[in-house]
Amino acid sequence: MKPTYLEIAVPVPLRRSFHYLPPTNADINELQPGIRVEVPFGPKKVIGVLIKTTDTTHLSSTKIKPAFRLIDQKPVFHPTIFRLCCWAAQYYCHPVGEVLSTALPVLLRKGEPINKPVNRLIAKVDHANQPGLGRSPKQLALLEHLLAVNSTVASANNINADSLHQSVSEGLSKSMLSQLKVSAAVIKALVDKGYADWLPFVNTYTPFNPTNIMRQPTLTLNDEQSAALRTSDKPGCHLIFGITGSGKTEIYLQAIESVLRQGNQALVLVPEIGLTPQTVKRFQDRFQVNVFALHSGLSDKDRLLAWQQANQGSAAIIIGTRSAIFTPLLNPGLIVIDEEHDSSFKQQEGFRYSARDIAVLRGQWENIPVILGSATPALESYHNANNEKYTLSRLQQRANQASTANYRLIDIQHEKLDEGFSKPLIHLITQHLQAQNQVLIFLNRRGFSPVVMCRACGWIKNCGQCDARMTYHLTLNSLICHHCGLQSGRPPKCEQCASKQLIPLGVGTQRLEQSLLRLFPGQRVIRIDRDSTRRKGAMEKFTEEINRGEPGILVGTQLLAKGHHFANVTLVAVIDIDSGFYSADYKAIERMGQILLQVGGRAGRESKPGTVAIQTLFPNQPVLKILIDQGYEAFSRQLLNERQAYDLPPFAYQAIIRAEANELARAMTFLTHIKQNFSTKMTPLLLGPVPSNMEKRANKYRAQLLFSSNNRRQLQDALHRCIEFVETANISRGVKWAVDVDPIDLH
């Protein structure tokens, strides 16, 4: 049968596609999946993507509308990216139209042509020695400039869009002219004299030249590094488990080098690109090819340009954060995920995908190696390496001879704390400052479920019905079990030793900077967190100041733990670790271990030895001891044993349906409906619904229903049946709901 209808994915929060008639004058047989189509949607015009053409529709002929127009002749989607998006929409239970839209640069989402011609000012003569320019030096200068750019060669150091224009074409665009501060009058004069003119220009891109790629020679690898490099050069997924400073980045660089020599491209994902300009610089220093950094600071235009360079093979290396995983590569050669354990690779709202997991799949489909690197691999990745799904390479020495940090536990069980600081810690900080060194105070603020703990004996209230800790809810001042929903008031005293000293752990520590100024008068205190670094260039300024090396105190959150290199920091102090080890979220302990080692990597990077001081009520906590005495691998093994015993990921698969409403009851009822509809079937296990840890956010009440199964297939089936039920049964009125597959945050 002849196809008659277009099946279009529209960027709306509905888990289905929509049928349209082709626009009049379009030949439906010519249409390829992945082209953009402008269609009517309610009263609006939206940009959708053609999934396929079909000969059947459930719509009646009077209801089906024609599409307005085709935006593309050829698909904007690279076939692999299109396939990844369709897979991800299914796997993460997210509307395919929104997924496809996420994968495109903003300007393409809005329907801009992929190669929009821009007017450029072009020289119309071949030398600057023209009559009438003698007394107008500005016009002469402009003409000379126009002539010069025609022969400009690509310069790898310049990665902004305007210099790219220069490298790929001739003439100057309006924005380039305004950057050069050329006035409109000067341009007009030159045009009027017939020496220059505006011409529409379409950029063309050519693949980079693989014969001349090096700017700096490579380092000679040590044995561990060579082995890791050899292991990682085949298609498949490779975990490089190497302590901070063991030379992982050097391995990425050399792996990329051999990829580039074959004329192929490399995609590198990092957790926080805006905060690690050093990493980008290291790539640019090594290679004289186009290196693109994709980050949130880029304009939409620059992003589109980088995307095109990647798509057409002229960008050799793309370094980006999570969403860069959807960057198309003409000649894919390698994907690197640095700090693969980092939670920023999982999107936490909307389309909740894991860029790392998508990367692994992409690598399979493109038949290229995927390198995951970390000093503290995620338990899932380590588990996959143990199961030989991934290769595993260990790097256990620091590459530059720096020594590893000493860990020191400070028992605060019997200490009086001054604004959270114990006497021994204050003493230690003072010593390091007096020795003219820098001290980093690390504050863990993110993603832990608070519990209530007895200060005297360490008792924590457990649920009577489950083997789980009760989560403390500040707004309700009560404890709730996140597994069964049991709720109880905050106990007046410890049920074990009757002490009245019950303290909530893991909440509020914002006043730290003020406390430090008071505790260490006269010391410079630099606070680095999301707020203080929001301004453009702020992080660079801090980094510069810190690298001047004057003694002082740095206060930071997770941001500081990531990839920074501060030569003069000799002491890292962690003041609030118990909230991590005693969180109600079973993943918190893994994150705490990762953080401890990551911040530890900040201490003593160069010639000076480093110390990590950890304040804790429980210096004999078994997993903490394993981490410190035996290292992260032993710690991982221990946690994996526990996860296996309790049927938790990676031994089980999880998903959460989250609901949000004006009243908690409404969200809970909605989730209860879902659960009841499935209560007869035992697999997967449905836990809850319970109010979310932060049950009130932005005046909305939130609750969640957890799915858990040993079988991924069954979990997926159940989720899809639930969604179908919700979408057909009309139970979601007044409720905003979302699905989170493989959640990393169980709140």
Sheet architecture: strand order including 369-374: 291-294, 317-320, 265-269, 332-338, 369-374, 236-242, 390-395
Q: Measure CA 566 to chain center.
A: 23
Pick the stretch among 44-52, 101-109, 459-467, 599-607 that binds Zn ion (CB under 5 A).
459-467
Q: What is the secondary structure of 54-99 as a DSSP string?
A: ES--SS-TTT--B-SEE--SS-SS-HHHHHHHHHHHHHTT--HHHH
Q: Which does 73 bind (CB under 5 to 8 A by kind): Zn ion, ligand ADP, none?
A: none
* Under rule CB under 6 A, residue 246 binds ligand ADP: yes
| CA–CA separation, 292 and 298 (whole Å) | 11
Which residue in 323, 324, 322 sits closest to 291, CA to CA?
324
- The correct pick among 15, 94, 238, 248 for binding ligand ADP (CB under 6 A) is 248
- The correct pick among 315, 494, 667, 741 for binding Zn ion (CB under 5 A) is 494
| CA–CA separation, 149 and 69 (whole Å) | 38
654 in Cβ contact with 740 (< 8 Å)? no
Q: Which does 481 bind (CB under 5 to 8 A by kind): Zn ion, ligand ADP, none?
A: Zn ion
Q: Which does 122 bind (CB under 5 to 8 A by kind): ligand ADP, Zn ion, none?
A: none
| CA–CA separation, 35 and 49 (whole Å) | 6
The two structure tokens encoding residue 115: 């190669």
Q: Which does 249 bind (CB under 5 to 8 A by kind): ligand ADP, Zn ion, none?
A: ligand ADP
CB of 668 to Zn ion, least distance (A): 16
491 in Cβ contact with 452 (< 8 Å)? yes
Q: Which is nearer to ligand ADP, 286 or 587 (CB)?
A: 286
Q: Is 257 helix (H, G, I), strand (E, B) or coil?
A: helix
- The correct pick among 226, 367, 465, 630 for binding Zn ion (CB under 5 A) is 465
The two structure tokens encoding residue 703: 């609750």
| Helix or strand run (H / E) with residue 687 | strand 685-697
Q: Which does 499 bind (CB under 5 to 8 A by kind): Zn ion, ligand ADP, none?
A: Zn ion
504 in Cβ contact with 473 (< 8 Å)? no
* Under rule CB under 6 A, residue 323 binds ligand ADP: no
The two structure tokens encoding residue 582: 């005693």
Q: Which does 328 bind (CB under 5 to 8 A by kind): ligand ADP, Zn ion, none?
A: none
Pick the stretch among 251-259, 296-304, 456-464, 560-568 that binds Zn ion (CB under 5 A).
456-464
CB atoms within 10 A of CB 544: 9
Q: Which does 497 bind (CB under 5 to 8 A by kind): Zn ion, ligand ADP, none?
A: Zn ion
CB of 378 to ligand ADP, least distance (A): 17
CB of 392 to ligand ADP, least distance (A): 15
Q: Is 130 helix (H, G, I), strand (E, B) or coil?
A: coil
Q: Which does 244 bind (CB under 5 to 8 A by kind): Zn ion, ligand ADP, none?
A: ligand ADP
| CA–CA separation, 222 and 484 (whole Å) | 53
* Under rule CB under 5 A, residue 466 binds Zn ion: yes
Pick the stretch among 269-277, 397-405, 494-502, 514-522 that binds Zn ion (CB under 5 A).
494-502
- The correct pick among 171, 247, 328, 420 for binding ligand ADP (CB under 6 A) is 247
Q: Which is nearer to Zn ion, 16 or 493 (CB)?
A: 493
| CA–CA separation, 332 and 391 (whole Å) | 20
239 in Cβ contact with 384 (< 8 Å)? yes
Pick the stretch among 33-41, 244-252, 435-443, 540-548 that binds ligand ADP (CB under 6 A).
244-252
- The correct pick among 166, 249, 404, 716 for binding ligand ADP (CB under 6 A) is 249
Alpha-carbon torsion (303, 307, 313, 318), positive or negative: positive
- The correct pick among 22, 48, 171, 245 for binding ligand ADP (CB under 6 A) is 245
| CA–CA separation, 239 and 380 (whole Å) | 11
How far is it between the farthest Cα atoms of the chain? 98
Q: Which is nearer to ligand ADP, 245 or 593 (CB)?
A: 245
Q: Which does 384 bind (CB under 5 to 8 A by kind): Zn ion, ligand ADP, none?
A: none
71 in Cβ contact with 48 (< 8 Å)? no
Pick the stretch among 243-251, 436-444, 527-535, 625-633 that binds ligand ADP (CB under 6 A).
243-251
* Under rule CB under 5 A, residue 484 binds Zn ion: yes
- The correct pick among 147, 456, 685, 731 for binding Zn ion (CB under 5 A) is 456
Q: Which is nearer to ligand ADP, 246 or 264 (CB)?
A: 246
| CA–CA separation, 199 and 201 (whole Å) | 6
Cis peptide, bond prior to residue 66, ω within 30 of zero: no
* Under rule CB under 5 A, residue 488 binds Zn ion: no
Q: Which residue, chain included where needed, has tokens 């600057």?
A: 128
Total residues contacting Zn ion by CB under 5 A comes to 15
Pick the stretch among 240-248, 362-370, 379-387, 441-449 that binds ligand ADP (CB under 6 A).
240-248
* Under rule CB under 6 A, residue 250 binds ligand ADP: yes
Q: Which does 258 bind (CB under 5 to 8 A by kind): ligand ADP, Zn ion, none?
A: none
Site for ligand ADP in 398-457 (CB under 6 A): 399-400
Residue type, 181: K
419 in Cβ contact with 511 (< 8 Å)? yes
The two structure tokens encoding residue 128: 């600057």
Q: Which does 483 bind (CB under 5 to 8 A by kind): ligand ADP, Zn ion, none?
A: Zn ion
Applying CB under 6 A, the residues found at the interface with ligand ADP are 219-222, 225, 242, 244-250, 399-400
Applying CB under 5 A, the residues found at the interface with Zn ion are 454, 456-457, 459, 463, 465-466, 481, 483-484, 486, 494, 496-497, 499
